[in-house]
């Protein structure tokens, strides 16, 4: 029960805080409770796969790769941790870098799908 309460509190802090303030380094991500690490990886993965990057590209082949392999979010978090643990460049880097590089290593180069920007409302 204590673990659940701690996880809930951390998730509420992350969800209610300004978005720019909660990008975790790999080492800070490792300090989070397991359930929170899994939730964080799920969000990072959804952002990477679901939203176009600055050039309007989405990484559709990685999404297909993970779905076809039937990798759970917990397995994805474990795999990213295993992938990055012995690589010094990730120890002080962002967890998103480790996730991106893990997906490239596990699934191959990303095939990208360009999003039609005319369908995206402008930011005012």
* Helix H or strand E segment including 22: none
| pLDDT one-digit tens code per residue, 36-69 | 999 999 999 988 887 766 666 667 778 888 888 9
pTM: 0.70
Counting Cα atoms < 13 Å in the Cβ hemisphere of 113 gives 13
CB-based contact 100:48 (threshold 8 Å): yes
Residue 115 CB coordination number (10 Å):
15
Tell me the domain boundaries of the chain. Answer: 2-113
Please give the Cα distance from 87 to 30 (Å, whole number): 14
User: What local confidence, expressed as pLDDT, does residue 18 receive?
Assistant: 42
Please give the Cα distance from 22 to 40 (Å, whole number): 10
| pLDDT one-digit tens code per residue, 58-106 | 677 788 888 889 999 999 999 999 999 999 999 888 999 999 999 989 9
User: What local confidence, expressed as pLDDT, does residue 41 receive?
Assistant: 95
Please give the Cα distance from 8 to 36 (Å, whole number): 9
């Amino acid at each position: 029960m204590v673990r659940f309460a701690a996880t809930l509190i951390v998730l509420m802090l992350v969800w209610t805080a300004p978005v720019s303030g909660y990008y975790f380094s790999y080492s800070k991500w490792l300090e989070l409770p397991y359930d929170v690490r899994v939730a964080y990886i799920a969000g990072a993965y959804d952002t990477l796969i679901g939203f176009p990057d600055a050039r309007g590209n989405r990484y559709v082949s990685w999404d297909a790769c993970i779905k076809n392999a039937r990798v759970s979010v917990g397995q994805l978090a474990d795999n990213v941790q295993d992938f990055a643990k012995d690589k010094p460049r990730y120890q002080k880097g962002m967890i998103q870098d480790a996730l991106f590089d893990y997906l490239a290593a596990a699934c191959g180069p990303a095939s990208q799908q360009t999003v039609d920007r005319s369908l995206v409302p402008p930011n005012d």
